[in-house]
Structure 1
Amino acid sequence: MATHGREKMRTTPLSRAASLLIALITALGLAGSPTAASTDKRTDSAMDVVAAMQPGWNLGNTLDAFPDETSWGNPLTTKPLFEAIRAQGFRSVRIPITWTDHQSATAPYTIDAKWMNRVKEVVDLALASDLYVLINVHHDSWQWISKMPTNRDEVVARFNASWTQIAGAFRDAPSKVLFESVNEPQFDNATDEEKMRLLAELNRSFHAIVRGSGGGNADRILVLPTVHTSADQKYLDGLSNEITALNDKNLAATVHFYGYWPFSVNIAGVTTLNEETQQDLIGYFDRSAKTFVDRGIPVIVGEYGLLSFDVDWNAVQQGEKLKFFELLGYQARIKKLTTMWWDNGQHFNRQTLQEWKDPGLFAQIKSSFTTRSGTTSSDSIFLPKSGAIEARTLTLNLNGTSFRGLWHGSARLYPGRDYTVSGDKLTLTAAALSRLAGDRSHGVNATIQARFSSGIPWNIYVISYDTPVLSNTTGTTESLTIPTQFNGDRLATMEAKYADGTNAAPHDWTSYKEYGRSYSPAYADNSIRLLKELVSQMRENTPLTLTFHFWSGAKVTYQVTRSGDTVTGTAS
């Protein structure tokens, strides 16, 4: 437990400056409702309200984009978007808002009225679509709040001014609108104890300003983050002490979760949902629940996903990806955590308002809100293109379900003839695989569906392959494109080591490089690209051996050498 957490904290009164700002906002007429005054009086507990918000979705890269709402590639937010999100089963929306570019950079830090009105308009669109709404101070966290260790007075003044204006503008908003003090709080060049102390100061100020503004804000649910929105126990304890000191039953805690980092970005050889990755997820949610939920304090996982979604969609293999989200949904449900999926436009199509980029992923996530799904140890069975086909065994992960059988399209496969089950071992016979492989052309020959007593059916792909073949090439320190015949196989990961046994940069603590940052396969173009982050840091005139690991189990070595700005690739 942090040192400051052992000290008794109490709610501090509003500063004179904050009080004057509230008076100013009220006098200017900005302290009214977003568009219509709310007369609702919430009777549900904070735990009940946050539970009713499950599941949630983030309107990412929109009001948090800068300088304007559409600057990061998303269209203007409309009511049909929120109606579509509600129709998909979501009950709440987190609206990240960055105020920096819409606010004077000096006192009195006035927020542009046009921007405030647009924020209120978007909030009202969400409310009209029967969604709970969570608004916050978003990228401001690293744009200026992070400077608090060396610029405390100015940061505190701007933070207080921001929340005084926001609280005034939403004073009479319905109770379905929640406030989050700051997104992913961080503080430059500060120790952990200093970070927790600084965040505590901001959270107390936020609490005092909102509560002091009256109206619906008197008992509105306020959401307080940990440092970095991390579920490290020290940060959870720090926030727990603050919430205890505030003695307010209408508070919630928030953390974010993007998975065990090596798995989330595919680095260090972590390509599967292994035991370490699973325990990282389980422990993260368990600590959050024990610290808060077990004491009657709700927890919102304000963002969750995989970090690789912003880099390379295929960095995490599809089956492992589905298993990750299946486990995440289950853990959130049994630990009574409300989750809000981070979507900055890469998941739901905001142009058509109809489809998801990956319907299978969405189906798995949606299902996990209410039930478990069975899976198997792999979603792929790789068969060599030539030679005898042998029986293959997969491990069933029942996850509390029961196995119902295998289907190929509408045709049910026969137990005994096509497959056998012994304990948790599912074995497909050589005869069945031979029939499913057909002419054994490279790639997916057949898709089998494993069905269970509940949840989403699990696809198993029967794939024929030959060992991939890489060819010689020349490139530059900007990138090197290696002609590649994948022959039906898929790339899992890549190692990069020099002859003396040392690992190549970046991340030279591991020989396995990051997918999408150091290398990336392009199946449609029959190539593997070595990216600038890797080739620009190669040693001069020192051969670097790459080992490409494929999902079939095949390994292919390849040598690259840098001379000045030229990089040469040679097949082994």
Structure 2
Amino acid sequence: MAGRHTLRARLAVAIGAAVALLAGLVAVVTTNAYAAAGCRVDYRVTSQWPGGFTGNVAVTNLGDPVTGWALQWTFGAGQTVTQAWNATVTASGAQVTAVNVGYNGSIATNGSVSFGFNGSWTGSNPVPTTFTLNGTACTGGVTSPSASPSASPSASRSTSPSASPSTSTPPAGNAMAAVAAMQPGWNLGNSFDATGADETSWGNPRVTAALLDNIRVQGFNSIRIPVTWGQHMGGAPSYTVDAAWLARVKEVVDWALADGFYVMINVHHDSWQWINTMPADRTNVQNKYNALWTQLAAAFRTASPKLVFESVNEPQFTGSSGDAQNAELLAALNTEFRRIVRASGGNNATRPLVLPTLHTSADQARVDELTATFNQLNDPNLIATVHFYGYWPFSVNIAGGTRFDSAVEQDLVGQFDRVANAFVSRGIPVIIGEYGLLGFDRHTGTIEQGEKLKFFEYLGYYARAKKLTTMLWDNGQHFGRTSFAWSDPELFAQIKSSWTTRSGTASADFVYVPRTGSVAAQTLTLNLNGTTFQSLRQGSTDLVRGTDYTVSGNQLTLTASALTRLVGSRSYGVNATLQARFSAGVPWRINIITYDPPLLSAATGTTAAFTLPAQFRGDQLATMEARYADGSNAGPQNWTSFKEFDVTFAPDYAANTIALRPAFFAEVNDTAKVTLTFHFWSGTKVTYYVTKSGTTVTGSLT
């Protein structure tokens, strides 16, 4: 406890200093809009972090009514706006122009309008001091009609759509700003969502305030706390939630709110524990669900508006008649959720509420179903949510999905575009409530490191481009719950960088050099991603351009002489690590690796336990194919010859073995010889043969 209080005291000092800094950044500028008018502009930096900040601008009209407005200012230190809400913001050099959107173009006398944005900065972030509204300098007074320009502001600047705003879905209002401020987010997974007796039943320790303090320090602005309630509820008709469990959840919510987080709580694995039985037991499920949210709404009625409710995680239904019934059942749950929360009053009357698609899928049909619910509810404080774990073959490494290629990229683009087009374009915010790769829960080499980094670099960039807030799924595999350290600091550095900028990458993060024979020059393709290449560095020493390497367009070539020096005595494995440095983002690591083709050996074992000896000799395994003698695919998921990494096979580099899992042999024909082709990252392919006879397995090289 003392350690936790000491950390929180240190953070309180830091937060106090930050508040003082932000107070100095706040500028309240009284301005004059145009003839027979005047306005007041309140420009505030509401939060700031290294490289980024959130701004809020409020404009109060002190004169005649305004119909259509454009506010302009100039950034004094190279700041840029990266995302905006409630206004369309463009820039020409340092000059920024914010124009009303269709629903907020009119400002009555003494009325006000506000908009917000996320921005980037380097060096300093001074507040603009001069604004113009509709082309007239804002001087702090109300000018007389005689000084008015000849052109009417409403005639010269009106961006209202031809359709009446009353005929379209109301704008999201503050929900859009809140969701933008929630970026980036983190999931406290496998704790309160565990389906056992308490939060430790899935192997994670009790949640501490120190954990949340440390997550906040990492730069996260929101935290999703998944909660499974079913095993902590009594029976019908009251379905009373266990008081101790609710109090414990509330304690952690309060810690998070005190740390400055936006906080999202939900109904989590209940989705497949009991809510999924709704097709056959609709009345009881709906009653239980309603009773649960009635209690939660009451318990958190006065909580900070930064607390957000999510109706249900990954909703699904068993035994339904199909898509139409699934859609109708989910709409019923979401509708009752909103009704119960809103009716409870207090801060719940306007609290942001998160509604998922079926399975939290971004497929078009699922998005369309949720769109219909939003149209019906007509509530400006609703948020849409989907989850994203990437293109499945890449996410689990099956069917040859070893690389972040065009198929992986286009899958991401398609899903993000669908939700952005359906919701964000209409002023409805979207949260990617969980994102990651499914292979994270498996072998550390399921997805090769460089390919993984490229995936997350692009995900962060495209989410920003589409104004989507992202929440990293972390069940304890990323940030240590007691060590407060990242298990893969390189991955987190790439994720964090992607929140504000792009990073250069390359076609690979390795160069393989044979252990014997002459060393040849090798070329990597640079993915500049809008940056420019600057240098190639080993440690703190820059390699010499033209001697150690050359760059032609996007081709980076390491010379034979440089590689010969870097591999030294050519011991197996990584002999040197380089960094390709770009004008923005994090450097790209390139390992220089010495290898020989791996050697496999004959072995015997059983279908329950079979490992073949493998001398990897500096190489690493990418994937494995399995075929019968007639060329047909062998093993599970026989629509592809490439088997699923770690589910059917897994390397152990320390033990020098490759295991073939029971799941592989469970779907291999008895007595049939199976040809295995092991693909290594050096490009080497090694053939091996296995035969199953009952529970006995024999492996050979011929």
- Find the residue that maps to 2:537 and give its secondary structure: strand
Q: CA deviation at 1:73?
A: 1.0
Q: In structure 2, the residue corresponding to 1:121 is in which secondary structure?
A: helix
Aligned partner of 1:327 among 458, 465, 476 = 458
**What is residue 228 of structure 1 aligned with on the other side?**
359
| Higher RCO, Cα 8 Å, sep 6+ | 1
Residue 407, structure 1, aligned to residue 511, structure 2? no
Give the whole-Å Cα distance in 1 for the aligned partners of 2:600 and 2:294. 61
Counterpart-to-counterpart distance in 2, 1:359 and 1:105: 46
CA distance in structure 2 between the partners assigned to 1:379 and 1:187 by the alignment: 43
Give me the whole-angstrom Cα distance separating, in 1, the residues matched to 2:313 and 2:580.
Answer: 41
Partners in 2 of 1:288 and 1:406 — Cα distance? 39
Which amino acid in the other structure matches residue 447 of structure 1? T
Quick one: percent identity of the two aligned structures?
Answer: 61
| Structure 1 outlier segments of 4+, above 4 Å | none
The structure 2 residue matched to 1:49, chosen from 157, 178, 197, is 178
Which residue number in structure 1 is paired with residue 387 of structure 2? 256
Match of 1:461 among 591, 600, 603: 591
Counterpart Cα distance in 2 of 1:554 and 1:193: 50
- Structure 2 letter corresponding to 1:529: A
1:192-233, Cα deviation, whole Å (9 max, x unpaired): 222111100110010101111111110000000000001101
TM-score, structure 2 as length reference: 0.75
Structure with a larger share of its residues in strand = 2
CA distances 1:86-134 after superposition (whole Å, capped 9, x unpaired): 0000011000000011002432211111111111111001111111100
1:120 counterpart residue number:
250
Residues in 2 aligned to 1:199 and 1:160: alpha-carbon distance in whole angstroms: 13
| Residue ranges of structure 1 left out of the alignment (5+ in a row) | 1-42
Amino acid in the other structure paired with 1:48 = A
Answer yes or no: is the 8 Å Cα contact 1:137–1:182 preserved in 2.
yes
Which residue in 2 is equivalent to 1:298? 429
Residue 344 of structure 1 corresponds to which residue in structure 2? 475
CA contact under 8 A between 1:79 and 1:129: conserved in structure 2?
no
Note the C-alpha offset of 1:537: 2.4
8 A Cα contact 2:173 2:380, kept in partner: no
1:281 to 409, 412, 419: 412
* Partner SS for 2:410: helix
Q: Distance in 2 between matches of 1:115 and 1:461?
A: 49
Does 2:325 correspond to 1:194? yes
Residue 239 of structure 1: aligned partner: 370
Is residue 257–residue 304 contact of structure 1 (8 Å, CA) maintained in 2? yes
1:13-92 equivalent positions in 2, closer than 5 A: 45-67=174-196, 68-92=198-222
Partner residue in 2 for 1:376? 506
Structure 1 CA distance for aligned equivalents of residues 236 and 462 of structure 2: 45
Inter-partner Cα distance in structure 2 for 1:418 and 1:378:
18
Please point out which of 581, 585, 604 is paired with 1:451: 581
Q: Are the counterparts in 1 of residues 195 and 269 from structure 2 also a CA contact under 8 Å?
A: no
- Does the 8 Å CA contact 1:135/1:180 hold for their aligned counterparts? yes
Deviation digits for residues 368-387 of structure 1 (CA, Å, limit 9, x no counterpart): 00000000101111111111
Structure 1 residue matching 2:216: 3-state secondary structure: helix
The alpha-carbon distance between structure 1 residues 500 and 189, as it changes in their structure 2 partners (threshold 3 A), is farther
Q: Is the 8 A contact 1:185 1:227 kept in 2?
A: yes
**Is this contact kept in 1: 2:395–2:447, CA < 8 A?**
yes
Q: Distance in 1 between matches of 2:541 and 2:348?
A: 59
Q: For each residue in 1:330-366, what CA deviation from the matched residue of structure 2 results, as whole angstroms up to 9, or x when unmatched? A: 011111100000000000011122x100000000000
Match of 1:12 in 2: none
In the aligned structure 2, how far is the partner of 1:303 from the partner of 1:83? Answer: 21
Q: Which amino acid aligns with 1:59?
A: L
Contact 2:628 2:634 in 1 (8 A): yes
Q: Which residue of 2 aligns with 1:26?
A: none
* Separation (CA, whole Å) in 2 of partners of 1:436 and 1:189: 61
Q: Distance in 1 between matches of 2:525 and 2:611?
A: 37
341-350 vs 496-505, which moves further: 496-505
CA shift at 1:313, angstroms? Answer: 2.3
Do the aligned residues in 1 keep the contact of 2:504 with 2:585 (CA within 8 Å)? yes
State how far apart, in whole Å, the 2-side matches of 1:496 and 1:110 are: 53
Match of 1:560? 690
Residue 44 of structure 1 and its aligned partner are, at CA, apart by: 6.9
Q: Give the secondary-structure state (helix, strand or coil) at the position aligned to 1:454.
A: coil
Secondary structure of the residue aligned to 2:545 is coil
Residue 311 of structure 1, CA deviation: 2.0
Alignment of 1:495-510 (within 5 A): 495-510=625-640
Q: How many aligned residue pairs are there?
A: 529
> Which amino acid is the alignment partner of residue 375 of structure 2?
T
Match of 1:20 in 2: none
Alignment partner for residue 100 of structure 1, among 222, 226, 230? 230
User: What is the DSSP-based 3-state SS (H/G/I as helix, E as strand, rest coil) of the residue aligned with 1:507?
Assistant: coil
Q: Which residue of 2 aligns with 1:4?
A: none
Q: Structure 1: how far apart are the matches of 2:575 and 2:472?
A: 34
Amino acid corresponding to residue 646 of structure 2 in structure 1: G
Please report the TM-score for the alignment, with normalisation by the length of structure 1.
Answer: 0.91
Picking from 391, 404, 426, the partner of 2:556 is 426
In structure 2, C-alpha distance between the alignment counterparts of 1:286 and 1:558, rounded to whole Å = 44
Q: 2:270 aligns with which of 140, 162, 167?
A: 140
Residue 210 of structure 1 is matched in structure 2 by 341
Q: 1:283 deviation in Å?
A: 1.3
Q: Contact between 2:593 and 2:618, CA under 8 Å: does it hold in 1?
A: yes
SS of equivalent residue, structure 2 residue 375: helix
Relative to structure 2, which stretch is displaced further, 318-327 or 148-157? 148-157
Q: Specify the code of the residue in structure 2 equivalent to 1:116.
A: L
Q: Which amino acid letter does the alignment assign opposite residue 528 of structure 2?
A: L
Cα distance in 2 for residues equivalent to 1:151 and 1:44: 37
CA distance in 1, matches of 2:546, 2:319: 64
- Structure 1 window deviating more from structure 2 (383-392 vs 106-115): it is 106-115
How many angstroms apart in 2 are the aligned matches of 1:562 and 1:448? Answer: 45
Whether the 8 Å CA contact 1:478–1:536 is kept in 2: the answer is no
